[in-house]
Structures are given as C-alpha cells and as structure tokens.
Amino acid sequence: MDKEPQPLQLRKQLKQGQDMAAIEVTHLNKTFKTHKKEAGLKGSFKGFFHRETLYKKAVKSVSFSLEEGELVGFLGPNGAGKTTLLKMLSGILYPTSGKAQVLGFTPWERNPGYQRQFSIVMGQKNQLWWDLPPSESFLLNRDIYGVNHKTFRHTLDEMIELLDLKELLDIPVRQLSLGQRMKCELVASLLHQPRVLFLDEPTIGLDVISQEKIRSFIKTYNQEKKTTVLLTSHYMQDVEQLCKRVLVINHGGIVYDGSLSSLSNRYIDHKVIKIRFAETQSATAPPNIKGIVEWDKHHAVLKIQKKEVAQVTHKLLGDFRIEDLSVEKVEVEEVIRRIFEESPKAELNTQGEDKPHKWIKKPGETP
C-alpha cells in the first residue's frame, strides 16, 4: 500500500524553498530496446530462434529547468521524444540515466505526495468512464485524489463556468464530441488543483473553435492559478499564443531553449520583400537584382539577407516605379521547419555520434 502523504505539510515545505525550480531536468536519457524482425514468415521464424537487439535513443541528455508558474511549450515533430520526456516526468517511464526533480520529487519513485500535485493529460487517451456522464468520473477522481468535498464543489463550479460545461455534465461521455470530451478530460485532471500540469497534444484532432477554447482556458488557468504548465503540440498556434518560452526538441535532444521571437532571429537570416509594380515590367528579371524568388510583369518576391534589406529596398525604389512594397518576417512555422530539417548538423546538437532517430545495434555511451 502506498504511504499516506500530508499534502498540506508538503506544500508548506515547498513554499519555504520558493526560489527552487518547479521542474529541474539534468542529462536525462532514455534508450528503448527492441528486436529486429525481418519481413515475412521466414523472417518471423528466424527471429524466433535468433534475435538481434536494436536500441533507439528516444531522449538524449536533455537538461532544462522551469520556474514555478511558467507556461512552456515543447515543439518537435512526431517521434522527437516529447511524449517520452513527459512520461518520465510523470513517473510512467524510468529513464535509462539522468536526474529529474519535479516539485522536489523524483517522478519515477511515484510518491503519492507527488502524484497528488501533478496531472498529465494526453490528447489521444481518455481517462473518463466511457458509458457514464463526466460528472461521475469527476466524483471518482475526487475520491482518488482525496479532495475535500467543499473544495471539489468550488473548483468544479469554477471550471464549469470557464469552459461552459453545464449542459454536458449529465450526458454519457461516449455521446460527447471530441472537443467536449477534451474539455471534460481537462476538468477531470485539474480537480485536485495540481501545481504542475503536463499537456500532451491537448488540441489534437479538434476543430479550430474548440482549439481556441481549450487554448484560452489553458491561458487563463495558468495565469490565475500560477500552475506550471509544460505543453507539447505540433500546432504552431498553440505555442505561439500560449508560450513565451519554447523548447525545441528533435531527434531526442533539445536544439533550442528560449523565446519564440528570438528563435526566428537566430535561425532566419533573411527577410522576404514583396513588390507590386506600378507599370508593366519585362517578363524576365533584370540580371542586377539578386535573391529573386518570383518575378512576373506585375509582381516580384525577393529573399534578402537581413543586413542587406535596407540597401536592396533603396535600390528597388530607385530602379522601378513601385506601387506597393512590403518587408515580411518569416513565419514561425517556417522557422521550426528549418530547424527540424537541419538540426542533425545544428551547432547545438552535441550528440551526433550515431545516426540520430534510427534504431541502432549498440546502446552507445551517453555523456
């Protein structure tokens, strides 16, 4: 049986160490093991007697820390290691090596004192009872987390208000839409007022309006409750609207940690200039203009190094009669795409000794 914790006392202890980070991860590694299987029946037969073990480094020497109350976004393509990392921080997975402290606890020790203070919501899994109305699942979570009835009522009312759930409470979960279900999932995991919240793809598969609602709820919740939120998503908008700080992860390693705005400054060295000409031009571009992406009789698009933007604009305005000229920033989405494409050779990636993101034969040393 688990040890009975005293949440109140724990909270007090933690309050004393307020300058302590809410989440502190140092050199965390996770290597998965699998067996190679050749295709076909013959392969299966061979594999039955002799198997080759393959290793995949899902998370490679990841380090970062979060202050209490921060809302941080985790960006990365599928299979980058985001979910694996969240699972380790929730105590579902043991790491292969490395350390992590969340609210002063080591997650994979699964201390009930920690479990009462965090929550993980996975967009693709549901924890609500399928045939019962969500209100029943809420009641059960109240009992599992040992939430005081009065506090429970209060918290629930508050969230019903925020998410506009009143009519959904008594409808069986199986009859709810995906968006409605996601709202209820969020409520179910926030009833015990966690201090740390992990959200794994909370808006996946939702329509634009539902996404928007979930997003604004997360934002409000984080601001009001000062809950530390770590959010993964591959929808850029989630991150753009919610997070000041982002961690970009690719091939198991963190390739960027900082603000979204400086992300584009750092990775994009050019700007895009769009021109509409006042008079018809020749169909082929004059040879003395560089960086042309598109050129026709009426429009042109140029990709110009940042430091040359002023000079090029000046030249363009002098050479042509121009009706409209705009200098545009590259979309964040484009920035991320570039990082993902080039990150194996990116300077921040220090673990390039094996073919990243592939199953390999040897476990390999971790730094």
Residues that bind other proteins (CB under 8 A): 1-2, 4-5, 32-33, 58, 83-84, 87, 90-94, 96, 108, 110, 112, 115-116, 118-120, 122, 125, 127, 129, 131-132, 136, 139-140, 143-146, 172
Nearest distance from C-beta of residue 82 to other proteins, angstroms: 12
Nearest to 339 by CA among 274, 267, 271, 288: 267
Which of 7/69 has CB closer to other proteins?
A: 7
Q: How far is CA 322 from CA 211, 234, 299, 314, in A?
A: 41, 39, 10, 12
Shortest reach from residue 349's CB to other proteins, in Å: 22
Residue with smaller CB distance to other proteins, 1 or 283: 1
Cα atoms in the 13 Å half-sphere on the side-chain side of 231: 31
Compute the least distance from the CB of residue 172 to other proteins, in Å.
Answer: 8
The CA-to-CA distance between both ends of the chain, in Å, stands at 37
Q: What is the smallest separation between the CB atom of 76 and other proteins, expressed in angstroms? A: 15
Report, in Å, the least distance between residue 146 CB and other proteins. 7
> Cβ atoms within 10 A of the Cβ of 189, count?
20
Minimal distance in Å, beta carbon 16 to other proteins?
23
Looking at the Cβ atoms of 58 and 273, the one nearer to other proteins is: 58
Task: Kindly tell me the burial class for residue 79, based on how many C-beta atoms sit within 10 Å of its own C-beta (0-12, 13-18, 19 or more).
Answer: middle
Backbone φ and ψ for 72, nearest 5 degrees, come out as -120, 140
CA distance linking residue 124 with residue 281, whole number of Å: 53
61: tokens are: 């020497």
Nearest-5° Cα angle at 20, 19 to 26: 140
Closest CA to 98 of 24, 20, 33, 197: 24
Closest CB to other proteins among residues 132, 204? 132
Beta-strand runs (E) in 104-239: 118-122, 196-200, 228-233
Nearer to other proteins, 195 or 213 (CB): 195
- DSSP classification of residue 293: E
Task: Provide φ and ψ at 231, rounded to 5°.
Answer: -125, 130
**Residue closer to other proteins (CB basis): 129 or 235:** 129
CB atoms within 10 A of CB 271: 19
Instruction: Provide φ and ψ at 19, rounded to 5°.
Output: -75, -10
Q: Which is nearer to other proteins, 97 or 177 (CB)?
A: 97
Give the nearest distance from C-beta 128 to other proteins in angstroms.
Answer: 10
Instruction: Rank residues 57 and 271 by Cβ distance to other proteins and give the closer one.
Output: 57
Q: Which residues pair with 294 in a beta bridge?
A: 301
| Closer residue to other proteins in complex, CB, 110/361 | 110
How far is Cα 280 from Cα 298, in angstroms, rounded to an integer?
Answer: 6
Find the shortest distance in angstroms from Cβ 186 to other proteins.
Answer: 15
Q: Shortest gap between Cβ of 261 and other proteins (angstroms)?
A: 34
For residues 246 and 165, what is the distance between their CA atoms, to the nearest angstrom? 31
d(CA 238, CA 231): 9
Closest CB to other proteins among residues 108, 320:
108
* Least distance from other proteins to the Cβ atom of residue 116, Å: 5
